Amino acid sequence: MRNNKPLPEGNRVCWIKLLATICLLVPATASKSESGESVLSASPAITQLLPAESQPNRNLTARDAYAKWKAEAEKPIILDVRTPEEFLFVGHPVMALNVPVAAQTYVWDSATGQFPMRSLPDFVSRVEQIAQHDDTLLVMCRSGCRSAQVVETLTRAGFSNVYNITDGMEGDLVNDPNSVFNGQRMVNGWKNSGLPWTYDVDPKRMVLPPSP
């Protein structure tokens, strides 16, 4: 039976932001930045995309994801889809595999107020290097937005057990003007939940795209 319960508030915010900004994984059209560099912009199809595979039964908090990883004999794969820079310098779960879904560009786009990311077209094929279609994948990004799109993409590619870690590695922003931490990612998330993470890097746990 289809689950018709509404998405949690945090996920609704994520999807609203995604609809308003670059779509990293759904079909996209090429556009030109102010410098003339070709970047990806959201396809009109994104307005029709609903996170069917990211309904509550496909969502896990970081704590729940770690508990699932510990409990299952056939260990799920913690799939960290952030950029290599995030994986290296922000830290990552000790058991995670880094398969970046997008690369950071460095040309400012004043229309969107950001340095756009560009999707990596070989993402699914790189996931297939380290996972079978029936493996359990627990997908992580910074705060649950990119990973929600990855759940959708991998499910459409034939992966049957894909879950979104909704609070990601860094968690949510503190929303308290009276706090010295206002605006910082210090609420929930893998790091803030006291789960095992590290800065140490094993290049064998990184499945990166070819060098340009």
pLDDT in tens, 108-126: 999 999 999 999 999 999 9
Using CA of residue 60, residue 65, residue 67, residue 71, what is the dihedral sign? positive
Q: Per CATH, the architecture of 52-103+120-205 is what?
A: 3-Layer(aba) Sandwich (3.40)
Q: Which residue has the higher pLDDT, 83 or 54?
A: 83
**pLDDT for res 179:** 83
Amino acid identity of 100?
Answer: P
Task: Flag whether pLDDT at 25 surpasses 90.
Answer: no
Quick one: tokens of 177? 């003007």
The pairing of beta strand 161-165 with beta strand 59-60: parallel
* C-alpha to C-alpha distance for 161 and 132, rounded to whole angstroms: 10
**pLDDT for res 82:** 98
The whole model's pTM is what?
A: 0.74
